[in-house]
Amino acid sequence: MNNSQILDEDEVLFKPIYYSGKGFYILGAALLAVLLFGVAMYLRQLVYGLGETGMNQPVTWGFYIISFVFFIGISHAGTLISAILRLSKAEWRRPITRMAEVITGIVLVIGGIHPIIDLGRPDRIMHIFERGRLQSPLLWDLTSITAYFTASTIYLYLPLIPDIALLRDRGGRFHKLYKILAWGYAGTEKQKHVLEKAISILMVMVIPIAISVHTVISWIFSMTLQPGWHSTIFGPYFVVGAIFSGIAALMIVMIVFRKAYHFEDYLKEIHFNYLGTLLLVMSLLWFYFTFAEYLTTFYGHEPVEMRVFLYKFVGGYAPYFWLMVVCNFIIPLIFLTNKKMKTISGLLIASIAVTIGMWLERLIVVVPSLANPRLPFPTGIYIPTLTEISLFAAAAAAFVLGFMAFSKLFPLISIWEIKEGREESVRLVSERLNQYLPSKGHIKKIV
């Protein structure tokens, strides 16, 4: 197999960068319209005040904080999964890591904007830097999200360099941009060595940062006195939920782009099969945490906690709560344990269910606790307005648009890693296997 043939084989990965179908432009325009509508609604909110939302006293946090937690949660898909797979030398990671990292990058920006949207005085945002109190969990959050964003964009960029070099060598569109971004990468032994070393340092660093991000987000809630929030389990509970929703989002993205860009040859059933198993594990873990959290509350039976508990289980939020249980536990369980249903479309259904379910989980964490404060006068009700809904839609549109834009600039599947896999994986894996297995002489003796 010579070089030109290999290039030809991976041509399908380059194709989306150079050719866009009609559907791409239509979808792009539609999403842009949604995004612009959201921006317009935000400007309206900026002019008139936060009264444009459905928030009130005592439900002082609503859709914006829910979206914030949800999108930051999805960001765990990426870097964390890709880092863990790389670290564990899982060979099947090769076509997945790039998409996972892109999700993180885009979603962190979207999620990170949400607290600013939620501010009553966004013009005073600099106060956080000028006179921030490090004792406030909001500051921890700012710190860890910034750290995570920095680490994960670098972690996205580094494995991208060889691919940018490939694009640069091809010439054509954005040639100058690629030339700058490729940093003169030519694939020499030394460059390769440095790159791999940098990636392996980063992938170890990124894991604790990623875990800290969602732990700290949960601490925003659990550091308060609110019933239903003040819980020690929240840190790990949120991290599990984040990885859970992250895997689901990753699968949706993979399935959609596999179909749209004809990546069938790269993203095979086996990838989805493995990720599906991972999703099932996270679903069970999520259920375990949820069960532990609510059982403790129920047996403690404190009146203030029970008001929130009953509000979720049988009260106003019961439909959302039970829908969440169905989406996060029952549907994944049905689709992922049954071999016949664990097809790609089955996985798509399960992933969409999990994404909806995890959004509902954030809703169920944020609103019922605020609506049932310790001193029950007044209790609250929360109905989101068009502003909040359109901003959520805009955030979702921005996510898809971001992905579409990325796919027009860079390959969505790491080409050099695929090539490397083709050239070296078999040798590396068999070498590794030989290390695991007992030596041949030993086997001979037993036989």
Partner 1 sequence: MALYGMVIDLNKCNHCESCITACKVENNLQIVSKESAEMGRVMQWMRLATASYEGNYPDVRPVTMPALCLQCDDPPCTKVCPVRATYRRDEDGIVAQIYPQCIGCRYCMGNCPYNVKVFNWYKEAQPIEYEKCYNIDVAVRVKGVVEKCTFCIHRLQKAKENAAAEHRKVTEEDYIPACAQVCPAHAISVGDLDDPNSNVSRLKSDYRKFTLQEELGTQPKVFYLSAKSK
Binding site for partner 1 (CB under 8 A): 48-51, 54-61, 115, 118-122, 124-125, 127-128, 131-133, 135-139, 220, 223-226, 370, 373-375, 377-378, 380-381
3-state SS, residue 125: coil
Shortest reach from residue 295's CB to partner 1, in Å = 23
C-beta of 374 vs 432, nearer to partner 1: 374
Angle of helix 386-409 relative to helix 11-18, nearest 10 degrees, comes to 120
Torsion of CA 260, 247, 208, 230, to 10 degrees: 130
Shortest reach from residue 374's CB to partner 1, in Å = 4
C-beta of 146 vs 224, nearer to partner 1: 224
C-beta of 178 vs 382, nearer to partner 1: 382
Shortest reach from residue 228's CB to partner 1, in Å = 12
Angle of helix 189-222 relative to helix 344-371, nearest 10 degrees, comes to 40
**What amino acid occupies position 300?**
G
From 230, 222, 227, 224, select the one nearest 376 (Cα to Cα).
227
C-beta of 385 vs 425, nearer to partner 1: 385
**What amino acid occupies position 253?**
V
Contact 50, 384 (CB under 8 A): no
Shortest reach from residue 224's CB to partner 1, in Å = 4
Shortest reach from residue 232's CB to partner 1, in Å = 17
C-beta of 213 vs 401, nearer to partner 1: 213
Q: Is 121 buried (19+), middle (13-18) or exposed (0-12) by CB count in 10 A?
A: exposed
C-beta of 142 vs 158, nearer to partner 1: 142
Q: Which two tokens stand for residue 183?
A: 């940093």
End-to-end CA distance of the chain: 39
Shortest reach from residue 239's CB to partner 1, in Å = 21
Distance CA 146, CA 379 (A): 36
Q: Is 442 buried (19+), middle (13-18) or exposed (0-12) by CB count in 10 A?
A: exposed
Contact 362, 69 (CB under 8 A): yes
| Gyration radius from the chain CA atoms | 24
Shortest reach from residue 373's CB to partner 1, in Å = 5
Shortest reach from residue 48's CB to partner 1, in Å = 6
Distance CA 291, CA 278 (A): 20
Distances (CA, A) of 373 to 58, 60, 160: 7, 11, 49
C-beta of 60 vs 439, nearer to partner 1: 60
C-beta of 61 vs 321, nearer to partner 1: 61
Shortest reach from residue 242's CB to partner 1, in Å = 21
Q: Which two tokens stand for residue 33?
A: 């319209």
C-beta of 59 vs 347, nearer to partner 1: 59
Contact 401, 92 (CB under 8 A): no
C-beta of 28 vs 54, nearer to partner 1: 54
Contact 283, 328 (CB under 8 A): yes
DSSP 8-state class, residue 421: I
Shortest reach from residue 221's CB to partner 1, in Å = 9
Contact 23, 276 (CB under 8 A): no
